[in-house]
Amino acid sequence: MFDFSLISDNASVLLRGLALTVQICAMGICLSLIGGGLLLAFRSCLGRGSAWLYDVYVTVFRGTPFLVQIYLVYFGGPYIGLDFSAEVVGIVGLAMYGSAYFAEIFRAGVEAISRGQLEAARDLGLTRQQTLRMVVIPQMFARCIPPLVGQTVILVKESSVLSIITVPELMTAAMRIANESFSILEPYLVLALSYWALTLLVSRAGRWMERRYTQHLSLKV
Amino acid sequence: MRTVQVNASTSYRPIEFFLTAGVLYLVLTLATSRIGRWLETRMRNA
C-alpha cells in the first residue's frame, strides 16, 4: 500500500530538490531566451558567415541528445581545463540546449510577418528601430508564445536528466529516497506529480500571457 | 548510449566516446529529417 509517512518523513529532501529544480529551470530558461534572441540577432545582423555558424549551432544542439551534451561538458570538460560544478554545467547546458530551440522559434515568428507590413511601415516613415519595436516584435512575441511555452515545458522535464551528473535536484532527491527506503512507488509518484504541477504552472502562465498579449492585436494566435 | 557510458568509464576517455556518440546521434537525426523532407516533396508532387 501507499505509505504516506515515507513522503512526510522525507518532505524536506523533496522540497529542497524541488527548490533547486525551480532555480535551475528559471535560470536556464531565462538564459535560453536571452541566448535565443542573441543568436537570431547574430544571424540577422552579420551577413552570410553568421547564418552558416547559426545553422551549425542549431543543428548540433538540436540534433544531439541533451544527455550527450551534458556528459561531454561535465565528464569531458576537466580533460580540457573546463572544470565546473554540476549545477553550473546543468544551468549552462540547459541554456545552450534551449537557446537553439528558442532561436528557431523566434526566427519562425519573425518570418511569419508578411513583407507587406514591413513595406507599409517604411511608407509611413517609420525608422528601422521603430518598425522593429512597433511592428515586428509585438506580432512576433504574440505568435511565439505557444511554441515558447511548449519548449519551456520540455526544458523543465529535461532538467531531470541533470540527476545523472549528481545535481541534487528533484529527480536526485526521489532516487535517493527510493534507494534508501526500497520503496519505488511513493517517491516516484510524488516526483511525477511535482513535475506535472510545474509544467501545469508553466502552461497556465503561458495561456495567461497569450491572452494578455493578443487582446490588443487583431491577430489571434 | 549505455555502450558509450561503459566504454568512456572503463577507458578514462570520455571526450572521444561522448563526441563519437554525439556525432552518431547527429547523423541519425539528420538522416531522419532528410527522409522526412524527401517524403514531404514526394507527397506534394503526387
Q: Please identify which residue in the block is written with the cell numbers 529542497.
A: A16
Instruction: Identify all chain B residues contacting A80, using CB atoms and an 8 Å cutoff.
Output: 15
Which residue in B has a C-alpha nearest to residue A76's C-alpha?
A: B15
Exposed e or buried b per residue across A161-196, where buried means at least 16 C-beta atoms within 10 angstroms of its C-beta: bbbebebbbbbbbbebbbeeeeeeebbeebbeebbe
Q: How far apart are CA A102 and CA A9, in angstroms?
A: 40
B8: contact with A, CB 8 A cutoff: yes
In 3D space, the residue among A155, A156, A136, A199 whose CA is nearest the CA of residue A62 turns out to be A155
CB count in 10 Å sphere of residue A12 = 10
Tell which of B15, B17, B20, B32 to mutate to test the A interface (max A CBs under 10 Å): B15
Residue of A nearest to B29 (CA): A63
Per-residue pLDDT, A221: 46
For a pLDDT cut of 70, what percent of chain A falls above it? Answer: 97
Average pLDDT, chain A: 90
* Chain A residues with CB-CB distance to B15 below 8 A: 72, 76, 79-80
Report percent pLDDT > 90 for chain B.
Answer: 63
Q: Which residue has the higher pLDDT, A134 or A61?
A: A61
- Looking at domain A4-214, its CATH architecture is Orthogonal Bundle (1.10)
Average pLDDT over residues A25-52: 90
Nearest chain B Cα distance for residue A38, angstroms: 24
Segment holding A156, helix H or strand E: helix A137-158
Q: What is the pLDDT of residues A85-95, one digit of tens each?
A: 999 999 999 99
Cell of A198: 510545474
Distance CA B46, CA A196 (A): 43
Q: How many residues are listed for chain B in this entry?
A: 46
* Binary contact (A75, B1; C-beta < 8 A): no
CB contact under 8 A, A68 and B30: no
Segment A169-192 mean pLDDT: 93
- Which DSSP state fits A220? -
How confident is residue A106, by pLDDT bands cut at 50, 70 and 90? very high
**Best to test chain A binding among B18, B24, B27, B32 (most A CBs inside 10 Å):** B18
Residue A128, chain B, CB below 8 Å: the answer is no
Q: What angle do CA A13, A19, A21 make, to 5 degrees?
A: 100
Predicted TM-score (pTM) above 0.95:
no
Q: Burial level of A50, CB count in 10 A (0-12/13-18/19+)?
A: middle
ipTM of model: 0.82
Is A69 within 8 Å of chain B by CB?
A: yes
- Give the percent of chain A with pLDDT over 90: 62
Q: Decide: A195 and A160 in contact? Cβ < 8 Å.
A: yes
Among residues A196, A168, A176, A198, which one has the least CA distance to residue A90?
A168
Distance from CA of B46 to the nearest CA of A (A): 27
**Cβ–Cβ gap B8/A75 under 8 Å:** yes
